[in-house]
Every structure is written in C-alpha cells, then in structure tokens.
Amino acid sequence: EIVLTQSPGTLSLSPGERATLSCRASQSVSSSYLAWYQQKPGQAPRLLIYGASSRATGIPDKFSGSGSGTDFTLAISRLEPEDFAVYYCQQYGSFQWTFGQGTKVEIK
C-alpha cells in the first residue's frame, strides 16, 4: 500500500500570503492518479486538483498543483478567508486509493 505523508501538519498564515503544502509518497505515483481535496468544517471534501496539476471545474487559478514521482505540491496564492481549511492529497494504484493525513491551513 502506498502511504502519503503530508507536511506540515498545520500551516499558520495570514490572509494574502502564499501557502505551500507538500505530499510525499512512499513509492512512485503516476501523476495522473494524484489529486487534492479541500475540506471546510462541517462540509464534505471537494475536489481541487486532479492529475497532479489540473484544476477541477470552478476552481480558481490561485490553486495550483505540481510534482511527479514521490513529491507533489499544492500551492495557494493570496490566501483569502475562505481558503483556511484542511487539504488532503490522494492517490490511486492497483485498485486501491489512499489519502494523506491532511494539512490544516489556519489563520495566523
């Protein structure tokens, strides 16, 4: 089973700042099978990024994904109040899906 490790666990930033979240896989992941989700309190997660770097429908371009192999990154430019949430990476391989443990982006 591929394990995804996200860092940092919590990121404390001010509105207007840039956030950089990391997702590291225990073995190589196809970029096609790496996604990112955002979850706000009391809500279901929503898809942000798929295929490591493609934005889902309706997702603003302040969200960007990059990476390959075992190292992937989600960047959020110009944080706005609604961006403070928990972010999860997720991968697929051999009919198994796994999530990272999440990174909480909180207001500093």
Partner 1 sequence: EVQLVQSGAEVKKPGESLKISCKGSGYSFTSYLIGWVRQMPGKGLEWMGIIYPDDSDTRYSPSFQGQVTISADKSITTAYLQWSSLKASDTAMYYCVRRSATYYYFDYWGQGTLVTVSS
Contact residues: partner 1, CB under 8 A: 1, 32-33, 35, 37, 39, 44-47, 50-51, 54, 56, 88, 90, 92, 95-102
Closest distance to partner 1 from the beta carbon of 2 (Å):
12
82 phi, psi to nearest 5 deg: -75, -10
91, 25 contact by CB (below 8 A): yes
Residue 106 Cβ vs partner 1, minimum distance, rounded to whole Å: 15
The answer to whether 108 and 12 are in contact (CB under 8 A) is yes
- Residue 104 is inside which H or E element, if any? strand 103-107
Whose Cβ is closer to partner 1: residue 16's or residue 95's? 95
Yes or no: say if 103 and 52 are a contact pair by the CB < 8 Å rule: no
Instruction: Give the residue with the Cβ less far from partner 1, 13 or 33.
Output: 33
C-beta of 76 vs 100, nearer to partner 1: 100
Three-class secondary structure of residue 16 per DSSP: coil
For the bound state, the minimum distance from the C-beta of residue 18 to partner 1, rounded and expressed in Å, comes to: 24
Least spacing, CB of residue 14 vs partner 1, in Å: 25
Burial status of residue 53 (CB atoms within 10 A of its CB: 0-12, 13-18, 19 or more): middle
26 or 97: CB nearest partner 1: 97
